[in-house]
Structure 1
Amino acid sequence: MQDKIIETLTNLADTRIKAEGKARQDLAEEAADMTRAITSYSLRKAMETSADAMPWRILLEDQEDGEMIGEFLKLRKRLTAQLIDSTFSTSSCMIVNEQDRMKWNGIRRFLQDTGYLVSALEAAERAAEEPAPAPAPEPEPAKPVPGHRPTTTQRKALELIAKGGVRRTQFGKGPVRIGSDNGRIYADTFAVLDREGWVSVDTSKSFFHGQPVELTEAGQAHLPA
C-alpha cells in the first residue's frame, strides 16, 4: 500500500516539476529572442506552473532525511493551516498581488489533488486495526486521475482545436488571441487547456503569423468517442 502511494506521489511531483521546467524554458527562449516581445502569457504560465510545483518541491526536499508518507501528511497539515490563516496581498504592485494569488492557488490544487491519498491511508489504517476472520488482500488506493476533467466550454474548445486551423496570435503589445476557423475560443479558456497539458503550441512560429495549436494525447482523450 505505502509503496503504491509513494510511487503516486513521486509521479505527481515529476509531472508538476516538468511542467514548470517547460514553462520556464519557453519564457527564456522568448526573452532571448530580441525580435519578439515578452508576453504576459509566457510570464503568467511560468509563474503559475512554478506555484503549482512549489509544494511538490518542498515534499521532495523534506523527505530526503525522512519517510515520504510521514512528510507528506505533515506538509498537508502545515499548508492547510497556512491556507486557513492566509490573507490576500494588498501591495501597490499588481504583479506581487498576482504572484501571491497564484501561490495560494497552487497550494489549494496540491491539497485537492492529494486528498484521495489521505483517504486511502486512513482506510488502510482502519482495516489494519479491525480483526479479520481470514487474511484479505490489501485495499488499493484509488487510481490517480491525470489532471482535471474539462468543463463544457473547455470540451467545446478541444473539439474546435481537433478540427484544425487554430492559431495563437498577438500584434504588438495587444492581447493574446486564439484564432479558429470553426468557432471562438476565449483566451482564458485556452490558458486552462494549456495548463492542463491538453494542447501544444508551436512556439517556433512568430506571434505575428500565428503559432499553430494542436491537441496532445491527453487532450484527445477528452474528446467524444
Structure 2
Amino acid sequence: MQANILTTLAGNRIESEAKAREALAGEAADMAQALTPYAIRKAMQAAADAMPWRMLMEDQESESEEQAFLQLRERLTGQLVNAISSSSSCTITNEEDRLKWDGVRRFLRDTEYLVEALNAPQEPATAPEPPKPPTPARRATPTPAQRKAMELIAKGGMRRTQFGMKDPIRISSEHGRIYADTLDVLEREGWAKVDHSTSLFHGQTVNLTDLGASHLPA
C-alpha cells in the first residue's frame, strides 16, 4: 500500500474530531449562551468517525500497515454483525452507541476501494529493455509544457498511481502534477521512463532519462 495513504486519511478524521471538540469547548465556555445539542452531537459524531482510525494507528505500531488495516476491517465487521443496539434509559448513551456504529459503517464503506486495490492482481514484471543509444538528431524538440514536465520529474519523487479501478491515474510528486498524455509523449520520445515492474496501487516511479535531461538547462 502506498506510504501515508491511511495515515493521511486518519489524520483528516482526527483533525475533524479536534475541531469539533474545540467548538464544543468554546460554546461551553460562553456563559452568555445556552449549550446546544447540535454542538454536542457534532463532537460525538466526529469522535465516532475518528475512532476506527485511532484504532488503526495504534495497531500499526505492532503490525505492518496493510496487515493492520485488513485485520481491523475484519474485526470491526464481526463486531458490527453481532452488535445489539443500546437500550439504556439515558438518551445520550443510546445516541452515542448509534453514532459509534455509524462511524464503523462509514469506515468500512470509505475504505472498501482500498481492499479492492489490495486484492487486485499485480501487474507482471516486465523484463527491462536493452538500452538504446541516444539519437537526438531524429528526436522531436520538447514543447514548453513537456520541458516543464521534465523539470518536475528531474526534481525527484514523481510517481504514477491509481488507488482504485474507478479512480483516474495520477502522475504527481510534491513538486507538481503531470498530465497522462504528456507523460505518454515523454516515454515515447525516450525522455522519461516509468518503472512498470510495480503495480499502479503501490506506485510506479517516473525518472528522467539521459536523453530527457539533455533538453534541460545545465
TM range (shorter): 0.5 to 0.7
Question: What amino acid sits opposite 1:140 in the alignment?
Answer: Q
C-alpha separation between the residues in 1 aligned to 2:100 and 2:125?
A: 49
Pairing 1:142–2:137 present = no
* CA displacement at 1:91 relative to structure 2: 0.7
5 Å-filtered alignment, 1:38-117, equals 38-117=35-114
**Contact 1:89 / 1:96 at 8 angstroms: preserved in 2?**
yes
Q: TM-score normalized by structure 2? A: 0.58
**Contact 1:8 / 1:144 at 8 angstroms: preserved in 2?**
no
Could you list the per-position Cα deviations for residues 124-165 of structure 1 after superposition, in whole angstroms to 9, with x for gaps in the alignment? xx336xxx48459x97322998xxxxxxxxxxxxxxxxxxxx
User: Percent of aligned positions with the same letter in both sequences?
Assistant: 51
**Contact 2:86 / 2:93 at 8 angstroms: preserved in 1?**
yes
* Structure 2 CA distance for partners of 1:89 and 1:109, relative to 1, 3 Å: same
Match of 2:17 in 1: 20
* Structure 2 CA distance for partners of 1:108 and 1:21, relative to 1, 3 Å: same
**Contact 1:79 / 1:107 at 8 angstroms: preserved in 2?**
yes
Q: Point out 4+ residue stretches in structure 1 off by more than 2 angstroms.
A: 132-136, 142-145
C-alpha separation between the residues in 2 aligned to 1:133 and 1:10?
A: 28
Pairing 1:33–2:30 present = yes
C-alpha separation between the residues in 2 aligned to 1:24 and 1:143?
A: 36
* CA displacement at 1:64 relative to structure 2: 1.2
* CA displacement at 1:10 relative to structure 2: 1.1
Where structure 2 has 5 or more consecutive residues not aligned to the other structure, the ranges are 129-159, 168-218
2:4 aligned counterpart, secondary structure: helix
Aligned residues: 137
* Structure 2 CA distance for partners of 1:115 and 1:24, relative to 1, 3 Å: same
* CA displacement at 1:66 relative to structure 2: 2.2
Where structure 1 has 5 or more consecutive residues not aligned to the other structure, the ranges are 146-225
Match of 1:127 in 2: 122
1:65 aligned counterpart, secondary structure: coil
Question: What amino acid sits opposite 2:60 in the alignment?
Answer: Q
1:34 aligned counterpart, secondary structure: coil
1:141 aligned counterpart, secondary structure: coil
**Contact 2:116 / 2:164 at 8 angstroms: preserved in 1?**
no
C-alpha separation between the residues in 1 aligned to 2:40 and 2:22?
A: 11
C-alpha separation between the residues in 1 aligned to 2:38 and 2:88?
A: 22
Match of 1:10 in 2: 7
In terms of fraction of residues, the more helix-rich structure is: 1
Q: TM-score normalized by structure 1? A: 0.56
